[in-house]
Structure 1
Amino acid sequence: MSNCYGRIPVILFVVVVAVMTGLSSCKTRHKAQVPVVKDEKNPDDKSAPDLQQLIYDNSFKVNSFSAKASVKTNIGDQSNSFNINLRIKTDSVIWISVSPLLGIEVARVMITRDSVKFMDRLNNKYSNSDFRFFNDLLNVNIDFEIIQGILTGNLFSYKKNKFNSVYIEDKYYILSTLSKRKLKRSLEDIDPNKPIVQDMWVSYQNYRITRLSVEDQRLQKSLLTDYSDHRQTEGGLFPFFSKTVVKAEKHVNIEIEYNKVTINSDPEFPFNIPSGYEKMR
């Protein structure tokens, strides 16, 4: 693991790596894949505000949910597989318990709007920090909404970016923060302040997000998440499989496959630090 993450325990790193690594201070050479833009009008053309409303109307909406999933990660030359129990109270709490395939819990994470708590059961250690700690450490700008959006496949905006354009590619709308004028300037390499570009691929059929992309064109790093196996639940369509690819100093691949999702079960979020645990520094 690179020095960028030396102070963060590996399990906690895995939980938030999909957001943090792709937008951290490590650099790589990577050329963006630009969507094919169709300029001609057709009956399905939509404005960015109209498409955002359709995405919201068809989003995964619950008060709370709990899920079990298997996770596979490849970080550089290291591969790991483990299980997680995920519980979310929408817009309030994200709780994750991490266990190896044998089933004994090794770590627990609880994220609220203003705190990130971590318990390392292998080494009897814990941390109690906030997003500012991680943002300063990794030179990023993440918040609760971003992590919640990535986990549920719902719409979010990075750094409060405004979605300006809608492109059409095959059977998808692409909702983008980059206007056509800025896209042209960026491709011609004449824009000295290359923006952070966020794109959302949205299905024609159900207006669910099937792919999200966040790319820092100036630092040449990116995050790409694909969602598939959408199944109907009481809260709407939920993606039972996701794959995230991060291109930075170390390439990262994360696959999450859910095998059970329970809606509005009013889950608990226990996080009691046992006596004798040492606070991480």
Structure 2
Amino acid sequence: MNKRCAPLLLGLLMAGLGACTRKALPTQARAEAPKAESLVNASNLDFRYLAAKGKAQIETGGDKLPNVTLTLRIRKDSLIWLSIGAPVIGEVMRAHITPDSVQVIDRLHREYYAGNFTYLRQRFNLPVTFQQVQALLTGNYVPAPTGTEPTVTTEPPMQKVVYRQQALLVEQLLETTRRRVQKLAVQDDSSHLRFTVDFSDFKPLERVPQEFANALLVVVEQPKNKPSSASINFRSVEVDKERLDFPFSVPSGYARKK
């Protein structure tokens, strides 16, 4: 397996989040929603535990890397656990993320990292937060930040929500029937970075009224570079079926990465 595969997948997810949250997306709930925001027809996934399994295909620099398997577990607003593996090799990376900490085991290089979100900010040059990672993985709508009035345009069956703050233009496209985000697009005018996530293959979930996007296509485009992408397909998604475990321990002999 290509040794870039697992780090690139994590990096692509962080890249999108950094682009769309650098100055625009909130990390805390607003005290009072703007008038236009109240017109948004969104229904965010509400859960206590979420478990999903699937595969991802990564393409970077024009090269398609081998497929990897994904196992995702989330305890809402508390913990994100992600395992990335490959056929024959088995698990190659495991991440344990909380609002205050980031721990990653890299089995290919026999290394591990234990720290906080400074790791993700330094590794990928992106100011991401736990809440933003969770929103991307669950396909939830993210409202405009406090003091920013979005433009809401409804032409059934779609609704488009757009807002600008400084150099960023953020656009979210919702399907009005299922009230779920279908596409997120962010354009950074200063760096000319463009990030998009297409959510598709919506399927109903047991125990909750919302549908879940089983397919995500993450694309990051930057000037003078070929686009990078990650196509993620979940084959199973379960919400609140059972209390989940989040095992994480560093094997002996692994070097701590600084």
TM-score by structure 2 length? 0.82
1:102, 1:89 → 2: CA distance? 29
Asked whether 1:255 is paired with 2:227, we answer no
Contact 1:107-1:121 within 8 A present in 2 as well: yes
Deviation at 1:245, TM superposition (A): 1.0
Which residue identity lines up with residue 63 of structure 1 in the other structure?
R
Contact 1:23-1:222 within 8 A present in 2 as well: no
> For each residue in 1:108-143, what CA deviation from the matched residue of structure 2 results, as whole angstroms up to 9, or x when unmatched?
011111221110112211011321233245442211
> Paired residue for 2:58?
73
How many correspondences in the alignment? 236
> Paired residue for 2:93?
107
1:163, 1:109 → 2: CA distance? 36
> For each residue in 1:214-268, what CA deviation from the matched residue of structure 2 results, as whole angstroms up to 9, or x when unmatched?
2211211111001111111123210011111110244111111111112112111
2:49, 2:38 → 1: CA distance? 27
1:278, 1:204 → 2: CA distance? 50
2:16, 2:141 → 1: CA distance? 20
Matches for 1:58-97 after TM superposition, within 5 Å: 58-80=43-65, 81-97=67-83
Matches for 1:127-166 after TM superposition, within 5 Å: 127-156=113-142, 162=148, 164-166=150-152
Which residue identity lines up with residue 237 of structure 2 in the other structure?
V
Equivalent residue for 1:51, pick from 39, 43, 58: 39
Which residue identity lines up with residue 204 of structure 2 in the other structure?
Q
Contact 2:36-2:151 within 8 A present in 1 as well: yes
Asked whether 1:195 is paired with 2:167, we answer yes
Which residue identity lines up with residue 52 of structure 2 in the other structure?
A
> For each residue in 1:130-184, what CA deviation from the matched residue of structure 2 results, as whole angstroms up to 9, or x when unmatched?
2123324544221111111111100225887845211245631111113xxx9xx
> Paired residue for 1:4?
none
Contact 1:222-1:246 within 8 A present in 2 as well: yes
Asked whether 1:215 is paired with 2:212, we answer no
Q: 1:167 to 1:19 in 2, by over 3 A?
A: farther
Q: 1:13 to 1:128 in 2, by over 3 A?
A: farther
Q: 1:90 to 1:162 in 2, by over 3 A?
A: farther
The runs of 4+ residues in structure 1 deviating greater than 4 Å are 21-24, 157-161
Contact 1:211-1:227 within 8 A present in 2 as well: yes
Which residue identity lines up with residue 73 of structure 1 in the other structure?
I
1:91, 1:164 → 2: CA distance? 25
2:134, 2:16 → 1: CA distance? 16
1:272, 1:159 → 2: CA distance? 37
Q: 1:231 to 1:244 in 2, by over 3 A?
A: same
Secondary structure of the corresponding residue to residue 126 of structure 1: strand
Secondary structure of the corresponding residue to residue 177 of structure 1: strand
Secondary structure of the corresponding residue to residue 105 of structure 1: strand
> For each residue in 1:32-74, what CA deviation from the matched residue of structure 2 results, as whole angstroms up to 9, or x when unmatched?
xxxxxxxxxxxxxxx532234x41xx22111011110110110
1:87, 1:148 → 2: CA distance? 11
Deviation at 1:10, TM superposition (A): 5.1
Runs of at least 5 residues in structure 1 that lack an aligned partner in the other structure: 1-7, 25-46, 183-193
**Identity %, equivalent residues:** 23
Superposition RMSD in Å: 2.6
> Paired residue for 2:199?
227
Q: 1:82 to 1:232 in 2, by over 3 A?
A: same
> For each residue in 1:175-196, what CA deviation from the matched residue of structure 2 results, as whole angstroms up to 9, or x when unmatched?
1113xxx9xxxxxxxxxxx521
2:69, 2:106 → 1: CA distance? 16
Equivalent residue for 1:20, pick from 1, 4, 15: 15
Q: 1:74 to 1:277 in 2, by over 3 A?
A: same
